[in-house]
Structure 1
Amino acid sequence: MTTPAPGPAATLADTVTFAHGPAWTNRFALAPLTNTQSHADGTLSDDEHRWLEARGRGGFGLVMTAAAYVSPAGQAWGGQFGIASDDHLPGLTRLADALRATGTVSAVQLHHGGRRADPALTGRPNQCPWDEPSKDAVALTTGEVEQVVADFVAAAVRAERAGFDGVQVHGAHGYLVGQFLDARHNHRTDGYGGSFDDRFRIVREILEGIRAATGPDFQLGLRLTPEGSGISLEEGRETARQVMTSGLLDHLDMSLWDVYMKPRYGGDGLLIEHFADLPRGGTRLGVAGAVVSTADARWCLERGADLVSVGTGAILHHDFAARALAEPDFRVRERPVTREVLREESVGPAFVDYLARGWDDLVAS
């Protein structure tokens, strides 16, 4: 397998241009990190505002919000950011204005939990491509699938109205869009399941709908899982190939868990190589997973990525991007870290509690 590099002159500090919207000042993106800091109704909290604004000041070329639910039925956890109604617009607008003032490009990640939503929060059975009683999930009707597409499009329009530079559709990690790609379970017979083309249909319709409903300067991204959750590596590659050559996307973010990983279910080489060798059209390819140093980020470019998303590193250092650009040997501080250190990095109390519950060895006890 051959892996094309972006070119010998490509560096992390390079300005990155896209078919739509503003250029990024560098190749670093803030990963869309779940942080549970929003108010119960999905509106923006001051803590979430501080968290994101600090990353804009910290030098990231793109600052992306956490997954924001596009309809009430899609809410997956308490404290989740929302973009499901105009009630969310004031906070969205305030955040977009603040991020613009830092000089970063801004995006909202659009999300629907599907079978991974929380009925205790939504007050209704979970929506899914198939019936799954163990998850309190019922199969969407064809009309409801069409409504999901419309909800993603409406959320993107809302983000544009608020002043964001773009959106990213969350198609990874077994949430609703990714559930449609699941070859094990999605056997629908209404054109949204069964064959690969039909399982891919909702992805295409969401991207086409957003592109048609937003302006020519609005950026559109997509996050995908390379394999797992019912997606084979072969089909993961084909999904990536189709979206990158569609002319619809500005950037594709492959969530690799760890950029140095090998395929978990068969396949040679490293996961990153199975996507870096694909034709891209005008789409920029991003990768995410365990990037915690300047060397890690440079390595991603050397393996053929155009962009690098940073999660843990951005929690530990609000200015990870600025430091990595300035210091060739920069690496994040040792873990675990104290709550006080995280507070100084603009990580709010609800986010710290979430990290302490679910992230091993990040928060000191």
Structure 2
Amino acid sequence: MSNRTQSLLHQPLILPCGVTLKNRIAKSAMSDSLGDGKGNPSDDQIKLYERWATGGLALSIIGEVQGTPHFAEKPGNLVLNDQSDFAYLRKLAQAGATNDAHLWPQLGHAGAMADAPISSPKGPSRLDLPGLKCDALSLDEIHALPAEFAHTANLAKQLGFGGVELHAAHGFLLNQFLSPLFNKREDAYGGSLQNRMRLLLEVISAVRDSVGPDFPVGIKLNATDQLEGGFAEDESLEVIAALDKTTIDLIDVSGGTYFPGAASSSDRAGSGAYFLDFAERARAKTNIPLMVTGGFKTLGQAKSAIAEGKADLVGLARALVVDPELPSFWLSDQRDEPQFPRFKNPPEGGVTAWYTMQVTRIARGEDALEPDDLDEAIAAYEARDEVRREVWNSHFSGISRAT
């Protein structure tokens, strides 16, 4: 079985649009927080994606690339629009294509979860909860969103990126419309699941019309919000059945939300991939290739997911932060399990801060952080964001906040 499953990790994946990914290992989207504070890539970010590409993976996805500066998740996000630094974005696209890898921006819109110091948070509905306050998008603002996503996707194509992924997971805008936790609307975009998925399908259609038939368009979709009253597995399966009738090239299955009170999927305990059982159910609903993200900790788990047909592509995130060259070792049947740090009673958000600062060290070729460096990492993470918020607000202050 070992030789067969090893060969499956090596096996190219041909997407419905005709583009080929060279193997079955991908870096899933993370908010690497390495933009320059003006929405442009930094030298560190360019080096980071070149290093990951050199490490042997087939696909990297850049988390949370915004179409406008007004609904960003963090001041380290990229902004891809007509005012962006195209020269630096082309450098990033080229670096991420090293070693025949693909680099896709994840087209994001934080909506209700936008970083308030640099944004005006707006979601499907007005919410006033502890830890979450936002206004509601107007119908005109909603109607403008498909064209915005389509323009951003077209720019990505022009700049040399290998594809795009639409972010409809983790409590960001397209997931907010799907989720009853966020979506209390009573018009054509709320209520029934058919209405709640309307915006997502409109965005997919507009993006495909903009980029043409031969450019990869993926989607990251929650299997579940993992919170009572949220977007649940049976609804997600219905969305996947609807996606099967579209021209989507890859469905990246994940889960969890940043709605107040929800636990982070990436921080939860477990010995294996989180959403493989759901992916097996999804397989009956679609022939679109499935990528499963979250919880892969060993080579054996990755091999089994492909061999059993539950996933076509294995999405790794934190594993590639602790071991950037892991794909090359897994493809040669070595280094079964990366060494993940263990933290004692980390504060909320602390582990994310540690991994984010470790990403910066990878980009700079610096020594790895130790788990005992957690407090230092949190302080550096927060201080960097405060500086970049000032840069962001100064840089984008004269730009209209229309969606």
TM-score, normalised with respect to structure 1: 0.84
Matched, 1:288 2:287: no
| Aligned residue type for 2:128 | P
| Aligned residue type for 1:323 | F
Q: What's 1:301 paired with?
A: 306
- Asked whether the equivalents of residues 55 and 319 of structure 1 are also in contact (C-alpha less than 8 Å), the reply is yes
1:342 CA displacement = 6.6
Change in Cα spacing, 1:151 to 1:193, as seen in structure 2 (3 Å) is same
| Aligned residue type for 2:311 | A
Change in Cα spacing, 1:329 to 1:52, as seen in structure 2 (3 Å) is closer
Q: What's 2:323 paired with?
A: 317
Change in Cα spacing, 1:63 to 1:141, as seen in structure 2 (3 Å) is same
- Asked whether the equivalents of residues 5 and 304 of structure 2 are also in contact (C-alpha less than 8 Å), the reply is no
Residues in 2 aligned to 1:184 and 1:334: alpha-carbon distance in whole angstroms = 33
Of 78, 82, 86 in structure 2, the residue corresponding to residue 81 of structure 1 is: 78
Q: What's 1:265 paired with?
A: none
- Asked whether the equivalents of residues 105 and 165 of structure 1 are also in contact (C-alpha less than 8 Å), the reply is yes
Residues in 2 aligned to 1:180 and 1:331: alpha-carbon distance in whole angstroms = 37
Across the two proteins, how many residue pairs are aligned to each other? Answer: 341
**RMSD (CA atoms):** 3.0
Query: Mean Cα displacement is larger for which, 167-176 or 127-136?
Result: 127-136
Q: What's 2:237 paired with?
A: 237
Instruction: Spell out structure 1 runs of 4+ moving beyond 6 A.
Output: 7-10, 337-344, 351-355
Change in Cα spacing, 1:344 to 1:45, as seen in structure 2 (3 Å) is closer
Q: What's 2:245 paired with?
A: 246
Q: Higher helix proportion, which one?
A: 2
Q: What's 2:148 paired with?
A: 151
Change in Cα spacing, 1:136 to 1:159, as seen in structure 2 (3 Å) is same
Matched, 1:169 2:166: yes
Q: What's 1:99 paired with?
A: 96
- Asked whether the equivalents of residues 172 and 223 of structure 1 are also in contact (C-alpha less than 8 Å), the reply is yes
Matched, 1:22 2:39: no
Secondary structure, in 3 states, of the residue corresponding to 1:217?
Answer: coil
1:248 CA displacement = 1.3
| Aligned residue type for 2:249 | D
Secondary structure, in 3 states, of the residue corresponding to 2:149?
Answer: helix
- Asked whether the equivalents of residues 39 and 84 of structure 2 are also in contact (C-alpha less than 8 Å), the reply is no
1:357 CA displacement = 3.0
- Asked whether the equivalents of residues 22 and 165 of structure 1 are also in contact (C-alpha less than 8 Å), the reply is no
Query: Mean Cα displacement is larger for which, 44-53 or 222-231?
Result: 222-231
Change in Cα spacing, 1:187 to 1:25, as seen in structure 2 (3 Å) is same
Alignment of 1:100-115 (within 5 A): 100-115=97-112
- Asked whether the equivalents of residues 19 and 282 of structure 1 are also in contact (C-alpha less than 8 Å), the reply is no
| Aligned residue type for 2:277 | E
Matched, 1:276 2:280: yes
Of 300, 318, 330 in structure 1, the residue corresponding to residue 336 of structure 2 is: 330
Residues in 2 aligned to 1:67 and 1:341: alpha-carbon distance in whole angstroms = 18
1:329 CA displacement = 5.1
Change in Cα spacing, 1:164 to 1:343, as seen in structure 2 (3 Å) is closer
List runs of 5+ in structure 2 lacking aligned partners: 256-264, 344-353, 380-403
Alignment of 1:65-80 (within 5 A): 65-80=62-77
Change in Cα spacing, 1:280 to 1:46, as seen in structure 2 (3 Å) is farther
Query: Mean Cα displacement is larger for which, 134-143 or 201-210?
Result: 134-143
Q: Deviations over 1:167-221 (max 9, x none)?
A: 0001001111101011244232331111110100011011111111112221010
Of 128, 136, 152 in structure 2, the residue corresponding to residue 133 of structure 1 is: 128
1:288 CA displacement = 0.9
List runs of 5+ in structure 1 lacking aligned partners: 1-6, 263-269, 359-365
Residues in 2 aligned to 1:354 and 1:105: alpha-carbon distance in whole angstroms = 35
- Asked whether the equivalents of residues 275 and 294 of structure 2 are also in contact (C-alpha less than 8 Å), the reply is no
Matched, 1:11 2:8: yes
Of 346, 349, 353 in structure 1, the residue corresponding to residue 363 of structure 2 is: 346
1:348 CA displacement = 7.5
Change in Cα spacing, 1:121 to 1:238, as seen in structure 2 (3 Å) is same
| Aligned residue type for 1:357 | I
Residues in 2 aligned to 1:10 and 1:281: alpha-carbon distance in whole angstroms = 24
Residues in 2 aligned to 1:354 and 1:276: alpha-carbon distance in whole angstroms = 40
